[in-house]
């Protein structure tokens, strides 16, 4: 087997973090923190360098896609499912994001987790996560992708419950796990259906088969895509499976930044984008995706307005932004969705890490009501946070502007009502982000001490880099009309077959007008909040939950979704289980088993008398039996 | 306290890998044994070749006679007194008429016994004797089957008249012991 | 066929006689060498240089009182030395004492039986040899004897494993279990000898051979200081003689094996260049083989007076935890290298 | 050849009987060793020299030494068996004979074809052939049996060890 | 050539002697030995069949039988030694309580 260097690099990529995991996981307890950090970050750095190499090679045109088949994994009737990796522009973009942001967050964690008892465990988990994530994006078939998918779910579970002595954190981890399992069920069923329909799980084969079969909107493909989307909803926290993500904030902040903002939750987007051939064949599913995306974006944004936990705000913000991405996918604008994935990875990681810096500095204080006035105290973090806020709000030149604008533009083209809702969502985004900024950094100090934990360079450096990326990342996808949309150009080979949109593009004038309108509205929101923030803050801080009017109380309590879930799903199941336990299990099954057992027991009690323990008699009987058998043979056999 | 210069300090230090292999040590050991293989042998083929005794060797006793063949011993008992092992007993008797040829003095030892199992061949009897009657020779006390036979009487001790034992060449240790 | 059978019979008798002769004179050699190493002369009374000493010993053994202790099991007590002696003698059957002689156009190999499982046969016979010692010790009805025989049994079983695995490496090299083939494979230049290919194997084999023969430093079954005489404490006269004799026969067989398996047997390096007549070459080879055997017998004796006895736990430690792993490593290495060479 | 077979067979049967009826366990062991030797002789006659050698090494060289070892270690040379009533012994001997007879009769009346199936291949018992078969067809069993050995080894050590492990 | 039946009869006889020994004797060590005897009769038959069928698989089975019996003996004797420590006798009847 002659491997090109690119293939070797590809094969090595995911296994470097795995090696890091093995080393830290097995011997981490004996290592010093420095060693653990070097092992953890070093393995990611190496895979980042390999990713960059692959990316450059791809850019320079030395290959379009690169594939390597490591070994036959599961032999099946026709051919076998290979443990094979594949990198195309889509994977490469994800690869860069995962390893790049992952590297920064690893670096940050060295400072953030300093002194924690589970330092080695933390880095081992993080490395394992990166391994599975790389497996996910590099898989060239559904099964391997599913392996990575489950793996990241596992790591997410482990890391949410990282401080496993806290019972509620464990509950959060369990919740995330169960929610993900519900989503996985859809994915799994989708896979079964794919195998059943196309007889393969290999991406190429499936897509080719689907494309040649044609027949848009037939029931099978709608079922497949809906099931896959169901899986994506679970992983990417969309309605109705979004409730685990805010709870997942129980994990350490770098985890929230890496897994629950930048990478894992975008796996759903990746899945849909990867299967765009299928989705493009099912416009009905796409409209479902759009609807779910818009609804999630708006709903999460309203909830985010009323959260008091700094990480919860960011968590709902993430859910909301993921909704944007799905909305983009729902209109068939896969590139726009992915663009937002990238920029979101930058600024949301930045925001989370910034929040982490605040939490770190304030001795693990997460409640916004106990912050305030940190602008002068933590100027570096403030600046960082400001960049992130501006980026997510969509202020021009910052990265969020370009990506969100592209989404809005595409949605406008497709569905005006959806655009209107997303526009409102964008305004809400701006509002809650500035509320967050104001509560944390502006105004006066509230209830915290002045002895801040200092930040070291390993924490500052990633923040600076991410801030730069949040600022400049948008230039990768300048608006369409400029003709400089590099990302679009780069990803075009992957999405070359997207034929859904053959409507004419909006004219430059309309586009610019919309852009200006959005920007103006956002600026208006900012001006409104900035000028009146003191009043708004005092009112909010003095208002207790019970005093809120209903329209505020509802989002403040997350629309009681968890409670409804509890009442509608969990409790009935509990009651059913209880009933089944008491009647079916105890009376019928146990009764039967016990009765049979009792019979055997009494029979055994009687038969036991035969066993005297005298081996001679046993043997004699055995011998007699053997003799009898042979005698029988002699008499009958001849 | 150092008794000799050939002492060696014993230690139980950890052996190095080379020492743990043992093979070099075995080789050195073989070297030593093979060297001895070709060394001058120290064995003497006894009955044919006899080793010279030292001049001060002290073997079995002899009771000397004088030039005329008369016993020199007068049974004075000084030897028995000097004997640290109390191996010597004697019985004195008076010389009868006509026995002048046999005994030099008027008193003689009627019985003179040395218990060779007790004797330590120190030679103090020889030193003590005023009459130069008892000497230790360079012959050995031979092995016997019975304990009684080790009590030498005059029969064994007194030198035969016709086979005098020459003790003149026997060296004396310088100074008293 | 008939001359062949006659030749075999003669060969058997000659080898039996030679074995016994060599074993007999080994006792003499042992005493002489021991004496020399201790700066003594050793036996020199019977005959010239004491050369008749073994005969005198034999006469003494035969004329001594044959004593059987009261509590002893008479049958086994008598049987044991015979077993020890006969198993010791049996091993020499497969040893190739030389290449074949060609007389009258017929080829007569100088080996009693060229079994294709020669090496296995040897280990089989060696493993039976322990019965003589065990039964002897047990039948004596003496605690010391029993201890000695139990020690002997565990020692011999333990060292058989290392020895067997060391031999496996040789078998892998030659691809045959026949000793004749193993020797033939070492013909030619001197570096074809297995000692240069299997130095580790030789050290293991040699050590195990010492233990199997109950020779110092592994003579715990009969260590005089602890167990009086070990398994032969109660024996006297020729029964004792057989036990002692068996030990020397074992030594002879071990030496023959060592020289056959590791030192080229009857091969003289580069002799094929001399273009000697076949029979002359065979004769020279046999002589050379015996020289090697004598060398190893002497080596056995040198070792005896060089190395002190091991302690029992050290013995077991050496056998199980050093020699056996080493032998396995040696075998694995041999296998890997053979695989790579192919 | 045939004489050898019958001599070996008769001595095998006699020594096997001696194993059963010997008074002292030590003698039982010795008779059993003799039986094994006769069986090894049968192997040689059946052209399975390698198996014969292995049989001697394993059974005579290892297993029986172990038996002897245990007997000596526990000092079991005195037969301490309860005397069974005569009728019981008779029952047992008759039982064994009946089993034997029925089996022989079964063989005798059966219609098995006992003629050689294939043309006899002389190289069947050689080490090379055995090795090829062992390492091609039975490699899995071979490996599993090594596990069995390991388990037996550990078990024996643990059982024989005094006190707590 | 000796007919196969003779090997069959020989191994049956040996087997039955072993079985009889198991019945007759109460000494655990001798029981063990009788079991070995029975195993060996089976081995003998296998080798004979291997020759008559010209198939060496049977000889491989003999290997495995030897192997299993070696393992069995080592564990069995270890158990025996352990039992002997508890009750200094090798009579099998004394261990009737093992049935529980």
Pairwise pLDDT comparison (D102 vs A543), residue with the higher score: D102
* pLDDT for the residue numbered D121: 63
Do residues D76 and D131 both lie within one domain? Answer: no
User: Cβ of D99 under 8 Å from any chain A Cβ?
Assistant: yes
Which token pair is C108? 């007569």
* pLDDT for the residue numbered D113: 63
Could you give the residue ranges of the DSSP H alpha helices within chain B? Answer: 17-21, 23-37, 78-82, 124-128, 154-157
Residues 69-98 of D with CB under 8 A from E: 70-71, 73-74, 76, 79-82, 84, 89, 92-93, 95-97
Using DSSP's 3-state secondary structure scheme, residue A367 falls into strand
pLDDT grade for B175, boundaries at 50, 70 and 90: very low
Q: What are the pLDDT digits (tens) for A9-31? A: 888 888 889 998 988 888 888 88
Stretch B56-60: mean pLDDT: 84
Residues in chain C: 342
Chain D: touching chains (3 or more CB pairs < 8 Å): A, C, E
* pLDDT for the residue numbered C236: 83
Residues 138-157 of C with CB under 8 A from D: 138, 146, 149-150, 153-154, 157
DSSP string, D1-68: -HHHHHHHHHHHHHHHHHHHH-SSHHHHHHHHHHHHHHHHHHHHHTT-HHHHHHHIIIIIIIIHHHHH
Is A241:A179 a contact under the CB 8 Å cutoff? yes
Nearest residue, CB atoms, D103 vs list A616, A624, A630? A630
| Angstrom distance (rounded) from CA A237 to CA A318 | 9
Q: Which of A453-457, A595-599, A615-619, C190-194 has the lowest mean pLDDT?
A: A615-619
Q: Which domain holds residue A234?
A: 162-556
| Angstrom distance (rounded) from CA C243 to CA C336 | 43
Do residues A169 and A114 both lie within one domain? Answer: no
* pLDDT for the residue numbered C150: 83
Please determine, for residue B114, whether its predicted confidence score (pLDDT) is greater than 70: yes
CA separation, residue C239 to residues A524, C66, C235 (Å): 119, 8, 6
**Residue D45 falls within a domain, yes or no?**
yes
User: Cβ of E98 under 8 Å from any chain A Cβ?
Assistant: yes
User: Cβ of D40 under 8 Å from any chain E Cβ?
Assistant: no
CA-nearest of A318, A327, A240, A235 to A290 is A327
Do residues A504 and A565 both lie within one domain? Answer: no
Q: Which of A96-110, A624-638, C83-97 has the lowest mean pLDDT?
A: A624-638
How many domains does the structure of chain D reveal? 2
Contact at CB, D20 and E9, closer than 8 angstroms:
no
* pLDDT for the residue numbered B176: 43
**Residue E57 falls within a domain, yes or no?**
yes
Q: Dump strand ranges (E) for chain B.
A: 61-63, 88-94, 107-115, 134-136, 151-152
Pairwise pLDDT comparison (A545 vs E2), residue with the higher score: E2
Q: State which residues of chain D have pLDDT below 70.
A: 76-83, 111-123, 125, 162-165
How many domains does the structure of chain E reveal? 1
User: Cβ of A612 under 8 Å from any chain E Cβ?
Assistant: yes
Q: Which domain holds residue D133?
A: 123-165
Is A41:A103 a contact under the CB 8 Å cutoff? yes
Do residues A202 and A336 both lie within one domain? Answer: yes
Q: Which of A439-453, A573-587, D16-30, D62-76 has the lowest mean pLDDT?
A: A439-453
Please determine, for residue B26, whether its predicted confidence score (pLDDT) is greater than 70: yes
| Angstrom distance (rounded) from CA A245 to CA A251 | 11
Contact at CB, A616 and E97, closer than 8 angstroms:
no
In chain D, which residues touch C (CB < 8 A)? 26, 30, 33, 49-50, 53-54, 56-57, 60-62, 65, 68-69, 72-73, 77, 126-127
Do residues A335 and A235 both lie within one domain? Answer: yes
Stretch A145-174: mean pLDDT: 87
A562: exposed, middle or buried (C-beta count within 10 Å: 0-12, 13-18, 19+)? middle
Do residues D65 and D137 both lie within one domain? Answer: no
Please determine, for residue A638, whether its predicted confidence score (pLDDT) is greater than 50: yes
Nearest chain C residue to B34, by CA: C37
Is B51:B147 a contact under the CB 8 Å cutoff? no
| Angstrom distance (rounded) from CA E38 to CA A216 | 75
Do residues A154 and A284 both lie within one domain? Answer: no
Do residues A198 and A136 both lie within one domain? Answer: no
**Residue E99 falls within a domain, yes or no?**
no
The chain-wide mean pLDDT, for chain D, equals 81
Which token pair is B124? 């103090």
Chain B contact set for C37 (CB, 8 A): 33-34, 36-37
User: Cβ of E16 under 8 Å from any chain A Cβ?
Assistant: no
Please determine, for residue A501, whether its predicted confidence score (pLDDT) is greater than 60: no
Please determine, for residue A500, whether its predicted confidence score (pLDDT) is greater than 60: no
Pairwise pLDDT comparison (A352 vs B18), residue with the higher score: A352
Which token pair is A299? 């709903």
Contact at CB, D67 and E29, closer than 8 angstroms:
yes
Contact at CB, D107 and E9, closer than 8 angstroms:
yes
* pLDDT for the residue numbered A2: 62
Rounded to a whole number of angstroms, the distance from the CA of D111 to the nearest CA of chain A is 8
Chain D contact set for A633 (CB, 8 A): 106, 109-110
| Angstrom distance (rounded) from CA B127 to CA B113 | 18
**Residue D17 falls within a domain, yes or no?**
yes
Do residues D70 and D132 both lie within one domain? Answer: no
User: Spelled out in words, what is the top-level CATH class assigned to the domain B61-157?
Assistant: alpha beta
| Angstrom distance (rounded) from CA A547 to CA A556 | 12
Q: What are the pLDDT digits (tens) for C211-246? A: 888 887 888 777 776 777 778 888 888 888 888 888
State the CATH number of the domain containing residue D26.
Answer: 1.20.120.1200
Rounded to a whole number of angstroms, the distance from the CA of D60 to the nearest CA of chain C is 7
Nearest chain A residue to D98, by CA: A627
Rounded to a whole number of angstroms, the distance from the CA of E60 to the nearest CA of chain D is 6
Chain B contact set for C35 (CB, 8 A): 43
User: Cβ of E2 under 8 Å from any chain D Cβ?
Assistant: yes
Residue A72: its H or E element: strand A66-75
Nearest chain E residue to A617, by CA: E23
Chain A contact set for E23 (CB, 8 A): 616, 619-620, 623
**Residue E97 falls within a domain, yes or no?**
no
Do chain C and B touch: 3 or more Cβ pairs under 8 angstroms? yes
**Residue D156 falls within a domain, yes or no?**
yes
Using DSSP's 3-state secondary structure scheme, residue B44 falls into coil
Using DSSP's 3-state secondary structure scheme, residue C117 falls into coil
| Angstrom distance (rounded) from CA E49 to CA E56 | 9
User: Cβ of E94 under 8 Å from any chain D Cβ?
Assistant: no
| Angstrom distance (rounded) from CA C121 to CA D53 | 6
CA-nearest of C261, C322, C265 to C119 is C261
Domain boundary among the residues A534, A556, A578 is at A556
| Angstrom distance (rounded) from CA D112 to CA B52 | 95
* pLDDT for the residue numbered D78: 62
Domain boundary among the residues A112, A135, A161 is at A161
Contact at CB, C41 and B43, closer than 8 angstroms:
yes
Chain C: touching chains (3 or more CB pairs < 8 Å): B, D
Q: Which domain holds residue E22?
A: 4-88
Do residues A228 and A107 both lie within one domain? Answer: no
- For chain B, domain boundaries: 61-157
| Angstrom distance (rounded) from CA C242 to CA C85 | 6
User: Cβ of B23 under 8 Å from any chain C Cβ?
Assistant: yes
DSSP 8-state assignment for residue A501: -
Residue with structure tokens 């809702």?
A421
* pLDDT for the residue numbered D38: 92
- 3-state helix, strand, coil split of chain B in percent (to 5) is 20, 15, 65
Is A366:A276 a contact under the CB 8 Å cutoff? no
* pLDDT for the residue numbered E40: 92
Do residues A227 and A132 both lie within one domain? Answer: no
Do residues D79 and D130 both lie within one domain? Answer: no
Chain A contact set for E26 (CB, 8 A): 616
Most confident of A357-361, A399-403, C153-157, D15-19: D15-19
Do residues A472 and A617 both lie within one domain? Answer: no
Rounded to a whole number of angstroms, the distance from the CA of C202 to the nearest CA of chain D is 22
Residue A621: its H or E element: helix A615-637
pLDDT grade for E41, boundaries at 50, 70 and 90: very high
Do residues A437 and A531 both lie within one domain? Answer: yes
Contact at CB, C306 and B30, closer than 8 angstroms:
yes
- For chain C, domain boundaries: 2-341
Tens-binned pLDDT, residue by residue, of chain C (342 aa): 787 888 888 888 988 888 888 888 888 888 888 888 888 888 888 888 888 888 888 888 888 888 888 888 888 888 888 988 888 888 888 888 888 888 777 777 778 877 778 888 888 888 888 888 888 888 888 888 888 888 888 888 888 888 888 888 888 888 888 888 888 888 878 888 888 888 888 989 988 888 888 887 888 777 776 777 778 888 888 888 888 888 888 889 889 888 888 888 888 888 778 788 888 888 888 888 899 999 999 888 888 888 888 888 888 888 888 888 889 999 999 889 888 887
Domain boundary among the residues D54, D83, D112 is at D83
Q: What are the pLDDT digits (tens) for C262-311? A: 888 888 888 778 788 888 888 888 888 899 999 999 888 888 888 888 88
């Amino acid at each position: 087997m002659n491997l090109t260097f690119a293939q070797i690099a590809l094969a090595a990529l995911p296994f470097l973090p795995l090696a890091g995991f093995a080393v830290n996981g097995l011997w981490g307890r004996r290592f010093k923190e420095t060693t653990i950090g070097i092992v953890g970050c070093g393995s990611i750095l190496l895979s980042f360098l390999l990713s960059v190499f692959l990316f450059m090679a791809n850019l320079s045109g030395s290959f379009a896609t690169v594939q390597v088949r490591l070994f036959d994994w599961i032999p099946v009737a026709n051919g076998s499912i290979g443990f094979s990796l594949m990198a195309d522009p889509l994977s490469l973009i994800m690869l860069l994001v995962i390893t790049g942001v992952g590297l920064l967050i690893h670096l940050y964690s060295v400072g953030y987790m300093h002194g924690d008892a589970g330092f080695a465990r933390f880095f081992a988990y993080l490395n394992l996560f990166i391994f599975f994530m790389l497996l996910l994006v590099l898989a060239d078939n559904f099964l391997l992708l599913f392996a990575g998918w489950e793996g990241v779910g596992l790591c997410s579970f482990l890391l949410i419950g990282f401080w496993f002595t806290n019972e509620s954190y464990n509950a959060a981890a369990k919740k995330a796990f169960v929610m993900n399992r519900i989503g996985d069920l859809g994915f799994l069923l989708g896979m079964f259906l794919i195998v059943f329909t196309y007889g393969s799980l290999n991406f190429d084969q499936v897509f080719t088969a689907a494309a040649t079969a044609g027949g848009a909107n037939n029931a099978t493909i709608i079922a497949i895509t809906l099931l896959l989307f169901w899986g994506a909803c679970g992983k990417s926290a969309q309605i109705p499976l979004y409730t685990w993500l805010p709870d997942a904030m129980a994990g350490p902040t770098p985890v929230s930044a890496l897994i629950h903002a930048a990478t894992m939750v975008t796996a759903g987007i990746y899945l849909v984008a990867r299967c765009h051939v299928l989705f493009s064949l099912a416009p009905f599913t796409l409209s479902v995706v759009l609807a779910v995306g818009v609804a999630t974006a708006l709903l999460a944004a309203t909830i985010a307005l009323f959260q008091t936990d700094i990480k919860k705000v960011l968590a709902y913000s993430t859910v909301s932004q993921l909704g944007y991405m799905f909305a983009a996918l729902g209109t068939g604008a896969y590139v726009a969705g992915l663009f937002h994935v990238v920029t979101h990875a930058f600024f949301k990681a930045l925001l989370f890490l910034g929040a982490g810096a605040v939490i770190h500095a304030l001795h693990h204080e997460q409640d916004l009501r106990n912050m305030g006035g940190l602008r002068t105290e933590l100027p570096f973090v403030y600046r960082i946070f400001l960049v992130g806020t501006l980026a997510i709000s969509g202020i021009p030149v910052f990265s969020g502007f370009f990506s969100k604008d592209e989404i809005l533009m595409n949605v406008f083209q497709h569905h005006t009502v959806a655009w209107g809702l997303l526009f409102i969502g964008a305004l809400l985004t701006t509002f809650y982000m500035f509320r967050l900024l104001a509560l944390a950094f502006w105004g006066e100090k509230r209830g915290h001490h002045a002895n801040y934990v200092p930040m070291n360079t390993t924490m500052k450096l990633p923040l600076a880099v991410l801030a730069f990326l949040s600022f400049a990342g948008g230039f990768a996808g300048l608006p369409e009309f400029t003709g400089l949309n590099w990302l679009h150009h780069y990803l075009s080979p992957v999405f070359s077959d997207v034929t859904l949109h053959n409507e004419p593009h909006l004219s430059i004038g309309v586009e610019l007008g919309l852009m200006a309108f959005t920007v103006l509205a956002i600026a208006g929101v900012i001006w409104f909040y900035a000028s009146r923030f003191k009043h708004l803050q005092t009112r909010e801080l003095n208002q207790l939950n019970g005093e809120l009017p209903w329209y505020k109380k509802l989002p403040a309590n997350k629309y009681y979704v968890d409670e409804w879930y509890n009442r509608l799903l969990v409790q009935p199941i509990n009651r059913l289980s209880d009933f089944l336990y008491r009647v079916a299990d105890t009376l019928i099954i146990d009764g039967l088993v016990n009765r049979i057992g009792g019979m055997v027991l009494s029979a055994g009690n009687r038969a036991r008398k035969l066993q005297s323990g005298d081996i001679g008699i046993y043997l004699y009987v055995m011998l007699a039996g053997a003799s009898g058998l042979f005698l029988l043979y002699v008499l009958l056999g001849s | 306290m150092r008794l000799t210069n050939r002492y060696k300090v014993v230690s139980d230090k950890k052996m190095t890998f080379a020492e743990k292999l043992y093979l070099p040590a075995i080789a050195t050991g073989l070297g030593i044994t093979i060297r001895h293989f070709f060394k001058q042998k120290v064995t003497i083929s006894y009955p044919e070749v006899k080793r010279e005794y030292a001049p001060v060797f002290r073997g079995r006793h002899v009771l000397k006679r004088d030039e005329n063949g008369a016993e020199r011993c007068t049974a004075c008992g000084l030897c028995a007194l000097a004997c640290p092992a109390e191996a010597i007993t004697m019985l004195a008797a008076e010389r009868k008429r006509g026995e002048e040829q046999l005994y030099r003095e008027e008193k003689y030892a009627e019985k003179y016994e040395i218990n060779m199992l007790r004797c330590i061949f120190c030679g103090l009897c020889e030193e003590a004797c005023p009459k130069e009657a008892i000497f230790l020779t360079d012959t050995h006390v031979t092995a016997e089957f019975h304990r009684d036979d080790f009590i030498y009487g005059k029969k064994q001790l007194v030198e035969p008249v016709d086979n005098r034992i020459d003790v003149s060449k026997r060296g004396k240790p310088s100074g008293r012991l | 066929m008939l001359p062949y059978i006659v030749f075999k019979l003669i060969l058997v008798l000659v080898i039996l006689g030679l074995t016994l002769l060599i074993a007999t004179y080994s006792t003499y050699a042992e005493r002489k060498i021991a004496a020399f190493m201790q700066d003594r002369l050793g036996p020199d009374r019977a005959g010239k240089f004491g050369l008749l000493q073994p005969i005198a010993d034999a006469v003494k053994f035969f004329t001594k009182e044959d004593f059987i202790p009261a509590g002893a099991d008479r049958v086994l007590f008598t049987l044991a030395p015979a077993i020890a002696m006969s198993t010791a003698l049996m091993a020499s059957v497969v040893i190739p004492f030389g290449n074949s002689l060609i007389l009258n156009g017929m080829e007569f190999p100088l080996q009693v039986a060229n079994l294709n499982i020669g090496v296995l046969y040897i280990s089989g016979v060696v493993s039976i040899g322990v019965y003589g010692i065990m039964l002897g010790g047990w039948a004596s009805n003496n605690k010391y004897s029993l201890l000695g025989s139990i020690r002997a049994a565990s020692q011999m079983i333990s060292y058989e494993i290392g020895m067997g695995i060391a031999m496996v490496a040789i078998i892998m090299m030659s691809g045959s279990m026949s000793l004749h083939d193993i020797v033939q494979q070492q013909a030619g230049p001197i570096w074809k000898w297995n000692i240069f290919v299997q130095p580790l194997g030789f050290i293991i084999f040699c050590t195990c051979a010492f233990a199997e023969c109950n020779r110092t430093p592994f003579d715990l079954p009969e260590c005089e200081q602890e167990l009086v005489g070990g398994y032969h404490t109660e024996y006297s006269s020729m029964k004792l003689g057989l036990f002692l004799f068996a030990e020397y026969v074992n030594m002879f067989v071990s030496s023959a094996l060592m020289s056959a398996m590791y030192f080229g047997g009857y091969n003289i390096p580069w002799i094929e260049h001399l273009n000697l007549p076949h029979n002359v070459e065979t004769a020279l080879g046999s002589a050379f083989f015996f020289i090697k055997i004598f060398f190893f017998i002497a080596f056995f004796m040198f070792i005896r007076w060089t190395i002190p006895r091991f302690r029992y736990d050290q013995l077991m430690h050496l056998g199980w935890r050093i020699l056996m792993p080493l032998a396995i490593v040696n075998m694995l290495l041999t296998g890997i290298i053979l695989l790579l060479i192919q | 050849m045939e004489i050898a077979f019958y001599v070996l067979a008769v001595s095998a049967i006699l020594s096997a009987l001696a194993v059963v009826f010997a008074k002292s366990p030590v003698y039982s062991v010795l008779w059993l060793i003799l039986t094994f030797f006769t069986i090894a002789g049968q192997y040689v006659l059946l052209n399975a020299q390698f198996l014969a050698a292995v049989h001697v090494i394993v059974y005579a060289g290892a297993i029986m030494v172990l038996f002897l070892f245990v007997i000596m270690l526990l000092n079991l040379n005195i037969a301490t068996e309860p005397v069974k009533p005569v009728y019981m012994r008779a029952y047992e001997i008759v039982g064994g004979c009946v089993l034997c007879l029925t089996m022989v009769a079964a063989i005798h009346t059966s219609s098995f074809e006992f003629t050689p199936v294939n043309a006899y291949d002389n190289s069947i018992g050689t080490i090379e052939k055995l090795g090829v078969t062992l390492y091609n067809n039975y490699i899995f069993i071979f490996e599993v049996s090594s596990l069995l050995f390991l388990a037996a080894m550990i078990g024996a050590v643990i059982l024989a060890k005094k006190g707590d492990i | 050539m000796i007919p196969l039946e003779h090997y069959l009869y020989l191994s049956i006889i040996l087997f039955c002697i072993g079985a009889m020994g198991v019945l007759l004797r109460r000494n655990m060590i001798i029981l063990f030995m009788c079991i070995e005897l029975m195993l060996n009769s089976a081995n003998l038959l296998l080798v004979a069949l291997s020759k008559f069928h010209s198939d060496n698989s049977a000889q491989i089975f003999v290997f495995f039988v030897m192997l299993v019996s070696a393992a069995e003996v080592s564990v069995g004797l270890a158990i025996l030694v352990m039992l002997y420590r508890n009750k200094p006798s090798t009579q099998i009847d004394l261990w009737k309580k093992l049935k529980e």
